Amino acid sequence: MEMKEKNVMIELREMSKSFSTKNGMVHALDKINLKIEKGEIFGIIGMSGAGKSTLVRCINLLERPTEGDVFFDGVNLTALPPAELRKARQSMGMIFQQFNLLMQRTALENVCFPLEIAGVKKEEARKRAEELLEIVGLADRKHSYPSQLSGGQKQRVAIARALTTNPKVLLCDEATSALDPNTTRSILELLKDINKRLGITVVVITHEMSVIEEICQRVAIIDSSKIAELGTVEKIFTTPKSAIGKQLVYSESRPQTNFDDSNTRYCRIVFDGETSFEPVLANMILECQGVVNIMYANTRNIDGQAYGQMVVQLPPDEKMAKKMLAYLEAKHVNFEEVDYV
Amino acid sequence: MFKEGILQMLGVGIYESLYMTLISTFVAYVIGLPVGLILVCTDKEGIRPIVWLNKLLGFIVNVLRSVPFLILMITVIPVTRAIMGTTIGSKATIVPLVIGAAPFIARMVESSLKEVDKGVIEAAESMGASPFQIMFKVLLPEAKPSLLVGSAISVTTILAYSAMAGAIGGGGLGAIAMNYGYYRYQEDIMFITVILLVIIVQILQEVGMRIAKISDKRL
Ligand SMILES: Nc1ncnc2c1ncn2[C@@H]1O[C@H](COP(=O)(O)OP(=O)(O)OP(=O)(O)O)[C@@H](O)[C@H]1O
Ligand SMILES: [Mg+2]
- Torsion-angle region of residue A219: left (phi > 0), alpha (psi -120 to 50) or beta? beta
Ligand nearest to the CA of A54: 1
Contacts of A147 in chain B (CB under 8 A): 217-219
Residue in chain A closest to B128 (alpha carbons) equals A86
Report in angstroms the alpha-carbon separations of A211 from A43, A44, A217, A223, A271.
9, 10, 11, 18, 20
- Domains of chain A, by residue range, sit at 8-244, 254-338
To the nearest whole number, what is the mean pLDDT of chain B? 93
Please tell me if residue A72 touches chain B, with a CB cutoff of 8 Å.
no
Q: What is the pLDDT of residue A302?
A: 66
Q: What is the mean predicted confidence (pLDDT) over A89-106?
A: 96
Average pLDDT over residues A148-155: 96
CATH numeric code, A254-338: 3.30.70.260
* Euclidean distance between CA atoms A39 and A198, whole angstroms: 9
Q: Do A63 and A29 meet the contact criterion of CB atoms below 8 Å apart?
A: no
A223-266 confidence digits (pLDDT tens) = 989 999 999 999 998 888 898 998 888 765 554 455 555 667 88
Walk me through the domains of chain B, giving residue ranges and CATH numbers. 4-214 (1.10.3720.10)
Counting from 1 in the atom list of ligand 1, the atom nearest the Cα of A222 is 21
Q: Using CB atoms, which residue from B123, B128, B141 is nearest to A104?
A: B141
Q: Residue B126 is nearest to which of A94, A146, A148, comparing CB atoms?
A: A94
Q: Is the pLDDT reported for residue A86 higher than 70?
A: yes
pLDDT digits (tens, 9 = 90+) for A315-326: 888 888 888 888
Percent of chain B's residues with pLDDT above 90: 77
pLDDT in tens, B143-155: 999 999 999 999 9
* pLDDT at residue A255, rounded to an integer: 47
pLDDT digits (tens, 9 = 90+) for B51-84: 999 999 999 999 999 999 989 988 999 999 999 9
What is the band of A275 on the pLDDT scale with cuts at 50, 70, 90?
Answer: low
Main-chain dihedrals φ then ψ at residue A99, nearest 5 degrees? 65, -45
User: How far apart are the C-alpha atoms of A196 and B206, rounded to whole Å?
Assistant: 54
**Ligand 1 near A23 CB (within 6 A):** no
More confident residue, A331 or B123: B123
Which regions of chain A does DSSP assign to beta strands (E)?
A: 8-21, 24-37, 41-46, 67-72, 75-76, 92-96, 169-173, 201-206, 218-223, 226-232, 266-272, 293-302, 305-313, 334-338
Instruction: Report the SS3 class of residue A107.
Output: helix
Fold of A8-244: Rossmann fold (3.40.50)
Q: Does A105 touch chain B (CB under 8 A)?
A: yes
Could you say which of B119, B137, B219 has the minimum Cβ distance to residue A96? B119
Stretch B167-183: mean pLDDT, rounded?
85
Q: What's the pLDDT at A293?
A: 84
Cα–Cα distances in angstroms (integers) from residue A242 to residues A221, A230, A239, A249, B167, in the given order: 9, 10, 9, 11, 79
Least Cα separation, residue A75 to chain B (angstroms): 16
| Mean residue pLDDT across chain A | 89
pLDDT tens digits along A172-183 = 999 999 999 999
- Sorting pLDDT into bands at 50, 70 and 90, what band is A79? very high
Q: What is the pLDDT of residues A183-203, one digit of tens each?
A: 999 999 999 999 999 999 999
Asked if B137 lies within 8 A of A117 by C-beta distance, the reply is: yes
What is the residue-wise DSSP string for B94-121? HHHHHHHHHHHHHHHHHHHHHTS-HHHH
